[in-house]
Amino acid sequence: MTNRFDTASPAGQTAPKILAEAHELVDAAARAFGPNTHPRRLLADCAYRLREPLRVALAGSIKAGKSTLLNALVGQAVAPTDATECTRVVTWYRDSATPTVTAYAPDGASANVIVRRGGGAHGLTFDLSALQWDRPGPRPVDHLAVGWPSAALAQTTIIDTPGTSSLSREVSQRTARLLTPADPGGGSPPFAAPGADAVVYLLRRLDATDVRFLEQLGTGAGGAGPLGVIGVVSRADEIGAGRIDALHSARDIAARFAAELERTGLCQAVIPVAGLLAFAASTLRQPEFAAFEALSAVPAEDLSVALLSADRFARADIALPVAPELRAQLVDRFGLFGIRMATMLVRLGARDAASLSAELSARSGIEELRAVLEVQFGQRAEELKAHSALSSLDRVLTAYPGTEADLLLPRVRARLADVHGFTELRLLGRLRTDELPLPAPALADLHRVLGGAGVAPHVRLGLPIDADPAAVRAAAVTAVHTWRSRSTHPLADQATATACRAAARSAEGIIAGLGQ
């Protein structure tokens, strides 16, 4: 997967149609409300979010590694990772021709933010101490907007959120307000940052706070929260105290988290990622490779003793063929786990910075996360955006009755209930939870035909990428008959029958797409 989310719509799916219909419904509702009214402004945001890239929020408890993971996904140091005031507000990262950072107040006032660049892992700092607002008087910061030239951000707007378990109730509520939208009639200001289309939730441990917040994502605002949620066991390298087998330990923990979260239907997948290593790998410099090459020549036992702690490794009195200052930078950027992994890979044959970067990236878990994000979010971007816009439209029409827009509400709710792409996403989130009484091969086929491995027709049908249209049609027809037959089996319970009917409809969508 490339370093972006692919927003192309698959053939045979209803994403372009539902996106166009969402545009039509939002525009019709806006015309029914008078100009310069609060609902009209809320609907203007609905229309805007249909035109812009998919919005993916990074959420989790404090110090979960959200900003570090953001930098790793973008491949650049765009987010401050040190604990400053800017990590206590919601920050939106969008593609821009030139780097810009702007602070916004609750009343819509704005101010340019001074950006300071340092070294090590904490590459950037946003200075909020002396903001010059474009309106008179001091005011609090509601959210930050960062514009940055980036191919990843051109496809996806990424939202960095404050920790959900912050000691400050107000700080934690900023994330809750973004991801679990409140009733728009409750007096929220028109300039408040709108919600996300999907969420990547970072976990260091699975505690009651995480479970409660994930439950809110699924039930907030009458179920109008983000439709897609992916879990990440973050800072995975720290789980094994930085040992070389740390990611294996993290994968075992991720499996336990996944079993619990999937049992409750709170996450569609759980992936372990060493965010610090992933970001360092994407920005590996030649002097760092040379340092790892020199360290790889040190006897393994001596290097292990030096790596007992970060402070010990950087001490000047430890005899190593790398200057203490550079050793301190390596600890800051790669961590002890990353240093152990890098030196091992050099011993195993990594001969230049590019090959070492690729190997470290693969072992950090970031490529697996990108692949999951591509399937769950990127390939369904239009459906996720349409769901967000229609859910917001539903809330606005409910909160502001008494106009001709009331006539649109049945259509809006019908689209939310009937759009097959939404049904697929909900089923994929609940598939393992329901424990359907189907053989393992049939369950794997069900997951695939619903788009769990990708939404392209050949992927859904388990065919090679170069399969000709006749083969695709024949496989789709067979799939329709197979899943229709399973849905009407006399021993099939209601959940199984519903899932099988959805699979048959997915296969019918492929046939319809071939006809088009």
Question: Quick check: is 122 in a domain?
Answer: no
Give the structural domain span for 327. 285-350
At 74 the pLDDT is: 92
At 63 the pLDDT is: 82
Name the stretches of the chain with pLDDT < 50. 1-13, 183-194, 220-222
Domain boundary pick from 326, 350, 374 = 350
DSSP string, 456-505: SHHHHTT--TT--HHHHHHHHHHHHHHHHHHHT-TT--HHHHHHHHHHHH
What would the pLDDT profile of 169-219 be if each residue is shown by its tens digit?
Answer: 777 778 878 887 654 444 444 434 448 888 999 987 777 888 888 887 765
Looking at the 3D structure of the chain, how many domains does it have?
Answer: 2
SS3 track for 169-232: HHHHHHHHHHHCCCCHHHCCCCCCCCCCCEEEEEECCCCHHHHHHHHHHHHHHHHCCCCEEEEE
Question: Quick check: is 263 in a domain?
Answer: no
Strand duo 110-112 + 270-272: pairing:
unpaired
Alpha-carbon distance of 203 to 354, in angstroms, equals 30
At 146 the pLDDT is: 94
Question: Quick check: is 37 in a domain?
Answer: no
Identify any residues that bridge with 233 across adjacent strands, giving them in sequence order: 203, 272
Give me 394's structure tokens. 């539903």
Domain boundary pick from 335, 350, 365 = 350
Domain boundary pick from 350, 369, 392 = 350
At 3 the pLDDT is: 43
Q: Is residue 157 packed enough to be buried (19+ CB in 10 Å), middle (13-18) or exposed (0-12)?
A: buried
Question: Quick check: is 483 in a domain?
Answer: yes
Question: Quick check: is 493 in a domain?
Answer: yes
Q: Work out the angle between the directed axes of helices 353-364 and 286-296 (0-180°, nearest 10).
A: 80
Question: Quick check: is 305 in a domain?
Answer: yes
At 419 the pLDDT is: 78
At 446 the pLDDT is: 92
Question: Quick check: is 383 in a domain?
Answer: no
Q: Work out the angle between the directed axes of helices 15-32 and 381-399 (0-180°, nearest 10).
A: 20
Answer yes or no: pTM beyond 0.85: no
Question: Quick check: is 409 in a domain?
Answer: no
